[in-house]
């Protein structure tokens, strides 16, 4: 009987202590978060974007993230998630191109290099541009 | 509030259906806990399939969806009301569990719920895979109207358009029915599937092995932090793990009730929904059919093989037909067909890839589940102290579960080795998810095989007899 009790208590204790440990991690992350890189924060950047995006619309996409920046791909995916049901292509050769920039001001050289003409600001660090589709 | 109403309707559709198959009076019983839990996955699968069919046949017309779901609900309720009694699934005989085991289970469940709520409060859209694949597809289905097929555009190839639609379909259906988009729907669905998985494990083991093993297995599953975290990540792995477990548990119950082939039929339906939840579910579907055949030929009644397999195939026919139609006409077969044979051969003959895979397996063996101590060591200790004792009647069930899980795992690993370019990254990021899909099924096998537990001193004879009389009276009522 004692062997069985020991086996059960060990197994249950490991599960419970592990759960509790992870719970502390979760609560710690939730309470000490300063700059959460996530969907809600990114969606808020699109506050000035037209609220209804028409289906079948295609936007180009350009970012000033360095090519090896791991957040570059995530931000592209987030842009697609926010703008669905429009389709976002990682290209500047579209009629409308969303430029995602992280500096205080939009880098005009970046636009010129990609033959983009700024149309209007559509959110924090987001510019809607006219693309060169020639 | 409307979301709760529609989720209840979806669950009631599933519950009505499974109760029609295994009817018993509505009261607090293990039988009904099992049906309650199976109803979650059944309702979700039926609703998701109906949603997809409505999209294909009637476009995104809103009126069709509540009508289709309402019709399913009415049919389920009619079946629910006019069903005849089936065999009662009750706790297996054995000593009553000590109070602390029940307390530990309740504590583990409470911790899991707190953990889940904490994780989704911090990250309501789930992890990257959830919003960039599953919920993105749900958004397209919900927002794009007649252009819903844009969700499978070649521009979105990085979202894997071939992934089946159980989860995104269900999320989009909830949004459509409630009339607005909110992260509450995927969160509630994830919670229900996690709850259902624990429910199926505890209730199935309760029938097969008794309350003590059932509560312990439930404590271990609810206490698997990675499992709860994966559920809160809003991926479709936990729904798949639900369907894998439900299929295997129903096949184990089939062996206890060989005359009632409805267990195999419902197991087939669950396996079909597994294939509708993820591509890995298709691997499992093939694996479970092979495993069942081997197990019955080697350990079971060979005469039962054909009737059981026919019922299994009958059960999975409808969801499988939907999966095939989806792959054929909507989502495509995926990018694995585009990998040239020369690349596959190169990957196959590259020893480094096999070494990386084995290394990944060893590492995950120690890290699995975010347990403070490697769980395989704890399970080995449990085995050493309690030992395994498999009854003759459970050999076929245990062989079915073991072979199905091993075949599924082996096929998934082989597919990774043969097809993936970035194998190291895949192993470090998704190996644990693959194991977690199989984890509830593995717990079912482990506790089905474990020997009987003696946790309290034997009761005086009079009390035992009293309990025995109660069990005998219940059995007589059932007969």
Specify the pLDDT at position B120. 93
Which residue of B lies nearest to A79 if distances are taken between CA atoms?
B132
pLDDT-based confidence at A27, cuts 50/70/90?
Answer: confident
Instruction: Give yes or no for a contact between B454 and B95, defined as CB atoms under 8 angstroms apart.
Output: yes
Q: Are residues A18 and A58 in the same domain?
A: no
Beta strands A96-100 and A58-63 are: parallel
Q: Domain limits at A23?
A: 1-34
Specify the pLDDT at position A105. 84
Domain count, chain A: 2
Determine whether the interchain pair A18/B371 forms a contact, defined as Cβ–Cβ distance below 8 Å.
yes
Per the domain annotation, does B196 fall within a domain? yes
Average pLDDT, chain B: 90
**Three-class SS state of B301:** coil
Which residue of A lies nearest to B374 if distances are taken between CA atoms?
A14
Determine whether the interchain pair B222/A19 forms a contact, defined as Cβ–Cβ distance below 8 Å.
yes
Per the domain annotation, does B396 fall within a domain? no
* Cβ-nearest to A12 among B122, B219, B370: B219
Specify the pLDDT at position B274. 98
Q: Are residues A65 and A95 in the same domain?
A: yes
Q: Are residues A23 and A50 in the same domain?
A: no
A24 touching B, CB under 8 A? Answer: no
Contacts of B114 in chain A (CB under 8 A): 23
Q: Are residues A27 and A92 in the same domain?
A: no
Mean pLDDT of B248-266: 95
Per the domain annotation, does B219 fall within a domain? yes
Residues 6+ apart with CB under 8 A from B351: none
- What is the enclosing helix (H) or strand (E) of A117? strand A117-123
Q: Are residues A61 and A6 in the same domain?
A: no
Q: Per-residue pLDDT for B209 more than 70? A: yes
Tokens of B165: 């639609």
Which residue of B lies nearest to A32 if distances are taken between CA atoms?
B122
Read off φ and ψ for residue A126, nearest 5 degrees: -135, 130
Determine whether the interchain pair B118/A23 forms a contact, defined as Cβ–Cβ distance below 8 Å.
yes
Eight-class DSSP state of B374: -
pLDDT-based confidence at B475, cuts 50/70/90?
Answer: very low
Specify the pLDDT at position B85. 67
Q: Domain limits at B253?
A: 2-89+97-334
Q: Is the peptide bond before A85 cis (omega within 30 degrees of 0)?
A: yes
Distance (Å, whole) CA B404 – CA B410: 10
* Cβ-nearest to B220 among A15, A21, A40: A15
Specify the pLDDT at position B424. 83
Q: Are residues A88 and A126 in the same domain?
A: yes
Write the pLDDT tens digit of every residue in B455-473: 777 666 555 444 445 554 5
* Cβ-nearest to B370 among A3, A11, A18: A18
Write the pLDDT tens digit of every residue in A69-110: 888 999 999 999 999 999 999 999 999 999 999 888 888 888
Task: Give the residue, B337 or B181, on which the prediction is more confident.
Answer: B181
Contacts of B194 in chain A (CB under 8 A): none
Beta strands A126-130 and A87-89 are: unpaired
Q: Are residues A72 and A18 in the same domain?
A: no
Eight-class DSSP state of B328: I
A33 touching B, CB under 8 A? Answer: yes
Determine whether the interchain pair B455/A8 forms a contact, defined as Cβ–Cβ distance below 8 Å.
yes
- The C-alpha of B176 sits at a distance from chain A's nearest C-alpha, in angstroms, of 15
Write the pLDDT tens digit of every residue in B131-156: 999 999 999 999 998 999 999 999 99
Specify the pLDDT at position B436. 97
Domain count, chain B: 1
Specify the pLDDT at position B459. 64
Lowest mean pLDDT segment, chosen from A44-48, B5-9, B63-67: B63-67
Q: Are residues A22 and A60 in the same domain?
A: no
* Cβ-nearest to A85 among B143, B369, B382: B143
- ipTM confidence score: 0.91
pLDDT-based confidence at B96, cuts 50/70/90?
Answer: confident
Which residue of A lies nearest to B377 if distances are taken between CA atoms?
A11
């Amino acid at each position: 009987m004692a062997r069985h009790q020991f086996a059960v208590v060990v197994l249950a204790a490991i599960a419970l202590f592990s759960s509790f440990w992870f719970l502390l991690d979760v609560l710690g992350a939730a309470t000490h978060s300063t700059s959460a890189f996530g969907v809600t924060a990114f969606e808020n950047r699109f506050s000035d974007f037209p609220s209804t995006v028409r289906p079948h619309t295609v936007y180009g996409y350009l970012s000033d993230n360095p090519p090896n920046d791991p957040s570059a791909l995530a931000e592209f995916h987030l842009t697609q998630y926010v703008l669905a049901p429009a389709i976002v292509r990682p290209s500047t050769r579209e009629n409308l191109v969303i430029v995602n920039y992280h500096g205080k001001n939009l880098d005009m050289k970046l636009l010129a290099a990609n033959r983009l003409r700024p149309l209007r600001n559509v959110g924090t660090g987001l510019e809607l541009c006219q693309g060169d589709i020639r | 509030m409307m979301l709760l109403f529609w989720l209840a309707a979806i669950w009631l559709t599933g519950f009505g259906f499974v109760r029609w198959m295994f009817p018993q009076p509505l009261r607090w019983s293990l039988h009904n806990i099992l049906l309650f839990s199976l109803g979650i996955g059944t309702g979700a699968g039926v609703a998701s399939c109906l949603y997809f069919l409505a999209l294909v046949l009637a476009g995104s017309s809103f009126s069709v969806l509540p009508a289709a779901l309402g019709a399913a609900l009415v049919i389920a309720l009619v079946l629910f009301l006019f069903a005849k009694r089936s065999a009662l699934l009750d706790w297996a005989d054995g000593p009553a569990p000590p109070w602390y085991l029940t307390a530990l289970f309740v504590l583990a469940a409470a911790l899991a719920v707190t953990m889940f709520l904490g994780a989704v409060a911090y990250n309501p859209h789930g992890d990257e895979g959830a919003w960039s694949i599953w919920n993105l597809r749900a958004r397209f289905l919900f927002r794009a109207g007649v252009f819903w097929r844009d969700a499978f555009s070649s521009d979105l190839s990085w979202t894997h358009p071939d992934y089946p639609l159980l989860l995104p379909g269900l999320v989009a259906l909830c949004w459509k029915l409630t009339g607005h988009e909110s992260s509450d729907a995927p969160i509630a669905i994830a919670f229900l599937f996690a709850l259902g998985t624990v429910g199926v494990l505890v209730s199935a083991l309760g029938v097969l092995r008794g309350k003590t093993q059932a509560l312990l297995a439930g404590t271990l599953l609810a206490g698997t932090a990675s499992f709860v975290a994966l559920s809160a990540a809003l991926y479709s792995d936990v729904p798949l793990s639900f369907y894998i477990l439900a299929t295997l548990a129903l096949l184990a119950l089939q062996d206890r009730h060989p005359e009632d082939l409805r267990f195999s039929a419902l197991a087939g339906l669950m396996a079909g929904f597994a294939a509708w939840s993820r591509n890995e579910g298709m691997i499992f579907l093939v694996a479970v059919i092979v495993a069942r055949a081997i197990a019955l030929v080697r350990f079971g009644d060979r005469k039962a093989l054909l009737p059981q397999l026919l019922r299994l195939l009958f059960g999975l026919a409808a969801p499988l037909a939907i999966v095939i139609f989806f792959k054929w006409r909507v989502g495509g077969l995926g990018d694995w067909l585009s990998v040239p044979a020369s690349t596959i051969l190169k990957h196959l003959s590259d020893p480094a890839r096999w070494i990386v895979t084995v290394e990944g397996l060893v590492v995950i063996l120690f890290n699995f589940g975010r347990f403070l101590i490697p769980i395989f060591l704890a399970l080995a200790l449990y085995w050493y102290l309690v030992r395994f004792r498999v009854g003759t009647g459970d050999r076929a069930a245990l062989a079915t579960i073991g072979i199905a899980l091993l075949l599924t795992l082996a096929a998934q690993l082989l597919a990774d080795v043969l097809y993936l370019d970035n194998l190291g990254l895949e192993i470090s990021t998704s190996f644990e998810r693959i194991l977690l899909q199989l984890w509830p099924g593995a717990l079912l096998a482990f506790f089905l095989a474990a020997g009987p537990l003696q946790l309290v001193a034997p009761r005086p004879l009079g009390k035992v007899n009293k309990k025995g009389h109660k069990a005998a009276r219940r059995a007589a009522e059932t007969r």
